[in-house]
Amino acid sequence: MKSFRPIYTLLFGVAAVFFFGLAYPHHLHYQEQYQLFLFDSAYVWEIVRLPGGVADLLGRFCTQFFLFAWVGALIIGVLLSGVQLLTSRLMGKGWLYGLSFVPSFLLWLFLLDENALLGGVWAVLLTLLASWDFDRLPSGWLRRVLLVVAIPILYWMVGPVCVVFFLLQAPRPKGSAVWYYGVFVLLAVLLIILSHHLPVPTERLWFGIHYYRYPTVTPVLLWAAALSVFVLTLIARACHKWANASSGFVVTLCSFLLVSIAMGCLVWKNSNFKAEKVMQYDFMARHQQWNRILATIKAEKPNNQIGVTVQNLALAMRGVLVDHLFDYNQNGIAGLLPDVESDATSPLPTAEAFYQLGMIAVAQRTVFEAQEAILDFQKSGRCYKRLAQTNLILGNYEVARKYLKALQKTLFYRDWANETLPLLGDEEAIALHHEYRSLRHSTYDEDFFFSDHVTPEMLESLFFSNTDNRVAYEYLRAYYLLTGDRESYAKLLLRSVEQ
Amino acid sequence: MKKILYALFAILAFSACTEAVSDARQEASLPRIYPDYLGVTIPVNIAPLCFSMADEGASRIEAVISDNQGNSLRSQGKESVNFGISDWRKLLSQNQGDSLGVTVSAKFADGWRTYRPFPIYVSPDSIDYGICYRLIEPGYEVWSKMGIYERTLSSFDERPLIENTQFEGCVNCHSFNRGNPADLSLHIRGPHGATLLRHNGSPLTAYNTKTDHSLGFCVYPYWHPSGRYIAYSTNATSQLFHSADSNRIEVFDTASDLQVYDVEKNELLLSPLLKQDSVYETFPVFSADGRSLYFCAASALPEGSHQLDSIHYNLCRIDFDPATGSFGSLIETIVDAASQSKSVSFPRPSYDGRFLCYTLSDYGQFSIWHHEADLYLLNLSTGESLPMTEANSDDTESFHNWSSNSRWMVFSSRRDDGLFTRPYFCHIDAEGAVSKAFMLPQRHPRRFYQDRFLSFNVPEFVVSPVRFDGHKASRIINDESRTNFGVRYDNEN
């Protein structure tokens, strides 16, 4: 009944696609916005020159498609299914078949973390692929020579996860253990030498440079997934007579169901749906889906900082912020324009509010700092786009051109960059552009200094330099209401009536 | 036989890649090229000046460089011209003290155009081995990937000395003694903060430069010519942002003092004259003879005041006795910029004692973010200051340094796009005449500078390759062990 196995793999893959497409789409959007894949030789070289670079490159290449969650989900589904198929091949037949899903489920668990990088999954997949290919080679000197050659190459391609390849080959050179472990020592020496020449801490060469966004964190789940393949093959070999005794349809189905249900529950339990909700708000703000935000907050009032910031922005954009201010959760004035923190995530929705208000220089600085705070030093397509826009609005055309030229080297931002480039320096075209015209009109006339904290004076200056700026008007009124400053509120109403 | 085959192959390869400049329209104008190398003065040992047409509409570019003796170099390319290093060196060495003529042709949709030739002057004054700089995004508080890099000036080779992928933190304030990398000071910020010091080629040591008697960590280092002392400032620095101004940000001090570190005795030499509460003192540098300490000083603002445009730094001087490590009793104002409502920053005396170069801006000390900032040259024998008009641009010129022979200056400028600083070089002759500045050459300059989203920060000349084991340095940085600076007060003042 071997023919049913592809169906189980397919079922697993489809489950993964639906999970990431339906339940976890904004985690994929989140991943995409913290990288910028460039079709550029210098960019590629920067990645592949480090151990694990090929897996990392493949991971980054695939992550750019996460802009479209369903495509991203499909990619993840295919990768996880690939790992399962290869594990199954390496384990052999038998009722232990269901366990071949364990590494893929562990990788699934790994990917629940928004800082887990797809390059790690590629590293495991390529390692298993190499092991499977190697298994088909006849034993003998050729195999040994290839082993010596394959280990450093594989190390360079996928990083230290390739140790699984080495372990999977361990039982093969029977009677030549000394020679075999000599290869391992050789690799270790190579790594120590390498550590003196590569710009990364030594421990990263042993545990992985770019499997995880935090450079100092070793992704335990990824390692568990990789090493589980070795453990499972050992179990399969140890129990092969017993395990292979029964490989009928029912037994295989039962083992598949048992593992799938157990691991599936684990996945569901460990899913961070709260974070998914926060990411959804950020996503909606990024794409200026004001009506969708209003519908979402109507169904469930946000109770987190980003959600409240986005909720208030959407209300202001629709001109109903003051009318509905107290219908929703507020976080004092921090719910309007929170102080900018030095991380990559929380400032972006606030930066969107700054941008829509016409505080272009503030938005620019906030986005720039958020991008700088990306932990693995990557750049962001979302941030590049906004930096190009703010520089264009502020008339810094050569800086805007630089960002746009970079975006021309991407797959999904290229068209936008091509459309925007002709606007640079073309004042008439900018004056006809609905977004840039109005934002130029809304921005500050008067220069003053500001720091990290938004003050009512900043909103007052913004509104009174252009009383058509209704978003600023909404925010200013909301600010007075939240601080209980009735006097200023009354004065504002009076002044706006007079004007 | 082999040589003939190679030659044939080279001819074939060359002819396959080049196109004859035919029916070219003769233009009366000079070509607009990137980088702008028209009429620049270059050192005899500089890397080839490869360039592109500024107009990206050109599909090909050809340049012929010829001298007065009938020698010439030709290069053609789609994006830029690219001269071989050995041919270039040969041509330059044959024309020291003379000029070269450059004829540029470019192919556009309507055919080839040949422009009026322009000269390049080859100075017999050589330039140092290389420069070191920090590469960093022009940011504010948060930093991404950065590092200290060394670039050879006679070729295009760049190599990292240390990058912050090796440790958690930021690296800045690299300094060498007159370009000699045997004396090195390097500051690390962040959780593993330290100052790495190397004196006379000794092993690197990590110091904690913050003492109970100083404002904070020692920054803006400058080596005494003897190598025994390093002048530092300690600054309580803040920043504020503009809402609507061409300058994005103001970086300013709310307090700052000066001190000199005695490398041999591990002592920070303090003087009450250089740590006055009512004065902001910063950017200390030693004179060429090591007997004076130049620095910038401004009257301190009242506490809480943000009248940043009223902070004007003068260039000042105090005596320094290298034998005893003691300071003079009088502070002399050398350039009274405050009286002109201007502000001096980054004083740098030439090593031959002739000049002092400084940056002049409208106010404040962090002229790096001031578009109006320009370079000025002070003649130390006459006391006359003049703007370095040939080297300056409409945009920011800020940090600068002298070559070891005091004939070349490297400085950072934002003129390229208004934001990302690039290194430029200019020649200063015996009379103080300043040549037009040229940008650091690159093999494919347009692609290189367009793709690099990093500023070249604090360019410093080095006279030889920097021996620096980044791996070892990062181990020292990541280690918690630090040597504390000792303190000695100059009691005479």
ipTM: 0.92
Indicate whether B488 belongs to any domain: no
Domain end: B95, B123, B151, which one?
B123
Instruction: Examine the pLDDT at B174 and tell me if it is beyond 60.
Output: yes
pLDDT of residue B230: 97
Pairing of strands B25-26, B111-114: parallel
Indicate whether B485 belongs to any domain: no
pLDDT of residue A245: 61
pLDDT in tens, A424-476: 999 999 999 999 999 999 998 888 888 778 888 899 999 988 889 999 999 99
A70 plus A216 within the same structural domain? yes
Average pLDDT for residues B237-259, to the nearest whole number? 92
pLDDT of residue B320: 97
pLDDT of residue A93: 67
A232 plus A187 within the same structural domain? yes
Indicate whether B6 belongs to any domain: no
A199 plus A324 within the same structural domain? no
State the total domains in chain A: 2
Interface mutation target, options A34, A372, A454, chain B, most CBs of B under 10 Å: A372
By the CB < 8 Å criterion, does B140 face chain A? Answer: yes
Average pLDDT for residues B163-183, to the nearest whole number? 92
Contact between A200 and A209 (Cβ < 8 Å):
yes
Average pLDDT for residues B218-225, to the nearest whole number? 96
pLDDT of residue A244: 63
pLDDT of residue A112: 98
B109 plus B158 within the same structural domain? no
pLDDT in tens, A122-153: 999 999 999 998 888 887 788 878 888 888 89
A338 plus A238 within the same structural domain? no
Confidence of residue A216 (pLDDT cuts 50, 70, 90): confident
Interface mutation target, options A35, A41, A399, chain B, most CBs of B under 10 Å: A399
Using a CB-CB distance cutoff of 8 angstroms, which residues of chain A are in contact with residue B144? 371-374, 377
Please answer yes or no on whether B139 and A461 come within 8 Å at the CB atom.
no
A386 plus A286 within the same structural domain? yes
State the total domains in chain B: 2
Domain end: A253, A270, A287, which one?
A270
A107 plus A225 within the same structural domain? yes
By the CB < 8 Å criterion, does A396 face chain B? Answer: yes
The answer, as to whether pTM is greater than 0.90, is: yes
Dihedrals φ, ψ of B293, to 5°?
-120, 115
How far, in Å, are A355, B383, B395, B427 from residue B387 at the CA level? 40, 13, 14, 14
pLDDT of residue A1: 47
Contact between B200 and B223 (Cβ < 8 Å):
no
B259 plus B162 within the same structural domain? yes
Which helix (DSSP H) or strand (DSSP E) does residue B411 occupy? strand B408-413
Average pLDDT for residues A402-425, to the nearest whole number? 98
pLDDT of residue A482: 92
B238 plus B164 within the same structural domain? yes
pLDDT of residue A499: 66
B143 plus B63 within the same structural domain? no
Lowest mean pLDDT among A407-411, A455-459, B220-224, B230-234: A455-459
Please answer yes or no on whether B141 and A342 come within 8 Å at the CB atom.
yes
Please answer yes or no on whether B241 and A361 come within 8 Å at the CB atom.
yes
Contact between A399 and B395 (Cβ < 8 Å):
no
Dihedrals φ, ψ of B66, to 5°?
-130, 155
Lowest mean pLDDT among A75-79, A236-240, B43-47, B62-66: A236-240
Cα maximum dimension of chain A: 96
| All residues at 6 or more sequence positions from A214 whose CB lies less than 8 Å from its CB, including other chains | A115, A375, A376
Rounded CA-CA distance A482/A478 in Å is 6
Q: CA nearest B448 in A: which residue? A: A42
pLDDT of residue A183: 73
B180 plus B149 within the same structural domain? yes
Average pLDDT for residues A185-193, to the nearest whole number? 79
- The CATH number covering residue B90 comes to 2.60.40.10
pLDDT of residue B191: 87
| All residues at 6 or more sequence positions from B282 whose CB lies less than 8 Å from its CB, including other chains | B220, B233, B235, B253, B256, B258, B295, B296, B297, B313, B365
Residue with tokens 């009242």: B302
Contact between B458 and B174 (Cβ < 8 Å):
yes
Instruction: Examine the pLDDT at B12 and tell me if it is beyond 80.
Output: no
A254 plus A281 within the same structural domain? no
Indicate whether B487 belongs to any domain: no
Indicate whether B98 belongs to any domain: yes
Residue in B163, B166, B306 closest to A449 by CB:
B306
Indicate whether B492 belongs to any domain: no
- Reading the block at residue A284, the tokens are 């909606």
Using a CB-CB distance cutoff of 8 angstroms, which residues of chain B are in contact with residue A215? 165
Confidence of residue B311 (pLDDT cuts 50, 70, 90): very high
By the CB < 8 Å criterion, does B160 face chain A? Answer: yes
pLDDT in tens, B439-469: 999 999 999 999 999 999 999 999 999 999 9
Confidence of residue A25 (pLDDT cuts 50, 70, 90): very high
| All residues at 6 or more sequence positions from B449 whose CB lies less than 8 Å from its CB, including other chains | B35, B416, B420, B422, B439, B442
| All residues at 6 or more sequence positions from A171 whose CB lies less than 8 Å from its CB, including other chains | A237
Domain end: B79, B96, B123, which one?
B123
By the CB < 8 Å criterion, does A445 face chain B? Answer: yes
Q: Which residue has the higher pLDDT, B285 or A140?
A: B285
Domain end: A237, A270, A303, which one?
A270
Average pLDDT, chain A: 91
Q: How many CA atoms lie within 13 A of A362 on its CB side?
A: 32
pLDDT in tens, B336-365: 999 999 999 999 999 999 999 999 999 999
Indicate whether B191 belongs to any domain: yes
B156 plus B210 within the same structural domain? yes
Average pLDDT, chain B: 93
A452 burial type by CB count under 10 A (0-12 exposed, 13-18 middle, 19+ buried): middle
pLDDT of residue A478: 95
How far, in Å, are A71, A178, A321, B237, B467 from residue A274 at the CA level? 23, 52, 25, 39, 51
pLDDT of residue B322: 97
Residue in B137, B241, B416 closest to A450 by CB:
B241
How far, in Å, are A360, A438, A460, B482 from residue A441 at the CA level? 11, 5, 15, 54
Q: Which residue has the higher pLDDT, A480 or A216?
A: A480
| All residues at 6 or more sequence positions from A218 whose CB lies less than 8 Å from its CB, including other chains | A207, A208, A212
Domain end: B123, B153, B180, which one?
B123
Alpha helices in B261-328 (DSSP H): none
User: What's B104's DSSP letter?
Assistant: E
By the CB < 8 Å criterion, does B156 face chain A? Answer: no
Q: Domain range for residue B164?
A: 130-478
A333 plus A347 within the same structural domain? yes
Lowest mean pLDDT among B57-61, B295-299, B443-447, B478-482: B478-482
A102 plus A195 within the same structural domain? yes
pLDDT of residue A100: 93
Using a CB-CB distance cutoff of 8 angstroms, which residues of chain A are in contact with residue B308? 449
- Nearest CA-CA distance, residue B419 and chain A, Å: 7
By the CB < 8 Å criterion, does A372 face chain B? Answer: yes
- Nearest CA-CA distance, residue A112 and chain B, Å: 26
B387 plus B412 within the same structural domain? yes
A484 plus A350 within the same structural domain? yes
B263 plus B300 within the same structural domain? yes
B82 plus B174 within the same structural domain? no
B55 plus B182 within the same structural domain? no
pLDDT of residue B491: 61
- The CATH number covering residue B280 comes to 2.120.10.30
B42 plus B147 within the same structural domain? no
Instruction: Examine the pLDDT at B141 and tell me if it is beyond 60.
Output: yes
Residue type, A99: L
Indicate whether B2 belongs to any domain: no
Percent of chain B at pLDDT exceeding 70: 96
Q: Domain range for residue A193?
A: 2-270
Q: Which residue has the higher pLDDT, B369 or A1?
A: B369
Other beta carbons less than 10 A from residue A175's beta carbon: 7
A133 plus A167 within the same structural domain? yes
In B263-365 the beta strands, taken as DSSP E runs, fall at 267-270, 279-286, 292-299, 314-321, 326-327, 332-335, 343-349, 355-361
Contact between B128 and B426 (Cβ < 8 Å):
no
B228 plus B174 within the same structural domain? yes
Residue in A368, A402, A449 closest to B250 by CB:
A449
Interface mutation target, options A359, A362, A364, A365, chain B, most CBs of B under 10 Å: A365
How far, in Å, are A208, A319, B203 from residue A200 at the CA level? 10, 51, 21
Rounded CA-CA distance A143/A153 in Å is 15
Domain end: A241, A270, A299, which one?
A270
Average pLDDT for residues A362-387, to the nearest whole number? 96
* Nearest C-alpha neighbor of B151 from the set B397, B485, B454: B454
A157 plus A295 within the same structural domain? no
